[in-house]
Amino acid sequence: MKSVPFWTDDHPRPNHLPEEDLSGQTDVLVIGAGITGLTAARLLARAGIETVVAEARSIGEGASALNAGMAIYGLKADPTVVIDRFGERLGRELWDASNKAIDLIEQLVGEEAIACDFFRPGSAELGFTARDDRVLAAYARRTTEDLGFPIEYLPRDRLGEIVGSGRFSMALTEETSAGLHPAKYTFGLAGAAARAGARLVEHADVSAVEKTGGRFTVTTSRGRIQAGRILVTTNGYTGTLFPSIRRRIVPIGSYSIVTESLPVHLAEEVLPGNRMVWTARRFLNYFRRTPDNRVLIGGRRNLQTDLNLAETARDLRSRLVEFFPQLASFEVSHVWGGKLGAAFDLLPHIGQHDDVWYAMGYGGHGVALGTYLGSEVGKLMAGELDRSPFAEIAHPTRWYYQQRPWFLPLAAAAYRTLDRFGR
Ligand SMILES: Cc1cc2nc3c(=O)[nH]c(=O)nc-3n(C[C@H](O)[C@H](O)[C@H](O)COP(=O)(O)OP(=O)(O)OC[C@H]3O[C@@H](n4cnc5c(N)ncnc54)[C@H](O)[C@@H]3O)c2cc1C
């Protein structure tokens, strides 16, 4: 078993992506070369704005090239809660944007000819108990009737249409969600940003930013650059460079394994519709088929970002076999983990103060929402948009969160208890 992400092992950083040096000056410096930063950089460069992307490691080496590649509908926050909180107009706008995000990926992939195994099989959320049944059926009714977003309730006797497992009691399905190969997508976005004229600089860890005379001097491990504006797209990898951003984003670990390639008939038996699937739990598991017919399962037994990979692989494998005993004799070929970023209100945010902009906080929906907010923030900075709903909602922090998310083990214990009692 390899302790490296399956996706970049399958599709490493292409050599044709340009390798640039960092020097001189630029209009906009984007910090972080993931889905958000690259989508924004492409738009900024296309608008004729000089743009440099500084990435501490290599392109996509945050979460973007190693996630499960599930571009799923919705926000992490419940839409009813969002509408109650922000009112009908703004609440619906936030919800609608999250669903338009998948169309945006489809459009981008088409326009830029990004070959990333994009397809739209829809998604399924699987429940275990009679309570899941009630809660999820009510959710499906609300989204279908009140929001006009059709979600279908599937009883146990129809589960065979989406999952080859006796472990679940029901499912919710919808038809808009997509799957893609995250490494191919992220490197494809990098290629598109470079073609538009953005300069991509890897191994340039930004360690200091100072503003004097209306311009920023940015110090990185690869030298210095002057910039007119900064865009921070570091999501789960956000450090203490900008303390007020750091205090608004909580890094959370997520981990995945894949099996070796399965015989096609078995892959089809396990996930017949090839949907993007997850379980109805706080500590949820997500699973899908890879383009070469492995089964990927991910999740976490903790919120921590530094779990031991061998133990994590054992854990995830036992979940996999619990759900799909027919996979017991197949090897796990890869295990890996990374960090996603969540805000306290479970919503993504765009912020701006004194020419420092940021976009982040997708709570595990960053494939779709990172693309969408990257596009929104790029257009806002280019003057092509005059507002975004994600820039109009307050971005909360908590008095007890200064630098370290010391409270995560407590939150994890509470979530585990609620999950155990099916709440
Ligand atoms: C295992 C796993 C599975 C996931 N599965 C899914 C999924 O199926 N669907 C989904 O929607 N979401 C998923 N996510 C979340 C999703 O991957 C992220 O939300 C998304 O990639 C965020 O993209 P981003 O560009 O905002 O940030 P990232 O891709 O995390 O990029 C941030 C970048 O900033 C760089 N950086 C940080 N600090 C500095 C600095 N000081 N100087 C320079 N560079 C810096 C980092 O090196 C990093 O490359 C998953 C996450 C993980 C970890």
Q: What is the pLDDT of residues 260-276, one digit of tens each?
A: 999 999 999 999 999 99
Which pairing describes strands 123-127 and 276-279: parallel, antiparallel, or unpaired?
parallel
- Site to probe by mutation for ligand 1, drawn from 367, 371, 372 as the one with most ligand atoms within 8 Å of Cβ, is 367
Domains of the chain, residue spans = 13-67+183-250+346-413, 123-175
**173 vs 276: CA distance, rounded Å:** 10
Burial class (CB in 10 A: 0-12, 13-18, 19+), 321: middle
Mean pLDDT, residues 213-226: 95
What letter would DSSP give residue 226?
E
Decide: 391 in ligand 1 pocket, CB within 6 A.
Answer: no
User: What pLDDT is recorded for position 205?
Assistant: 97
Predicted confidence (pLDDT) at residue 77 exceeds the cutoff of 70: yes
Tell which atom from ligand 1 comes closest to the C-alpha of 369.
11
**Ligand 1 binding pocket includes 70 (Cβ within 6 Å):** yes
Beta strands 170-174 and 152-155 are antiparallel
Confidence of residue 423 (pLDDT cuts 50, 70, 90): low
Distance (Å) from CA 339 to ligand 1 centroid: 6
Q: Is the minimum distance from the CB of 256 to ligand 1 under 6 angstroms?
A: yes
Place of tokens 């693309």: 371
Per the listing, tokens 């902009």 go with 357
Topology of domain 13-67+183-250+346-413 in CATH is FAD/NAD(P)-binding domain (3.50.50)
Cα separation of 266 and 353, whole Å? Answer: 53
Chain mean pLDDT for the chain: 94
Check residue 402 and give its pLDDT: 82
pLDDT (average), residues 144-162: 95
Distance CA 210, CA 70 (A): 38
What confidence category does residue 156 fall into, taking pLDDT thresholds of 50, 70 and 90?
very high
Q: What is the pTM of this model?
A: 0.96
pLDDT 10s digits, 8-48: 999 999 999 998 889 899 999 999 999 999 999 999 999 99
CA of 236 from ligand 1 middle (Å) equals 6
Ligand 1 centroid, distance to 4 Cα (angstroms): 16
Our answer on whether the CB atom of 91 is closer than 6 Å to any ligand 1 atom is: no
Q: Residue 355 CA to chain centroid, in angstroms?
A: 25
Contact (Cβ atoms closer than 8 angstroms) between residue 287 and residue 277: yes
Residue 51 pLDDT greater than 90, yes or no: yes
Helices and strands in the chain: count of H runs, count of E runs? 10, 18
pLDDT of residue 391 exceeding 80, the answer is yes
pLDDT of amino acid 410: 76
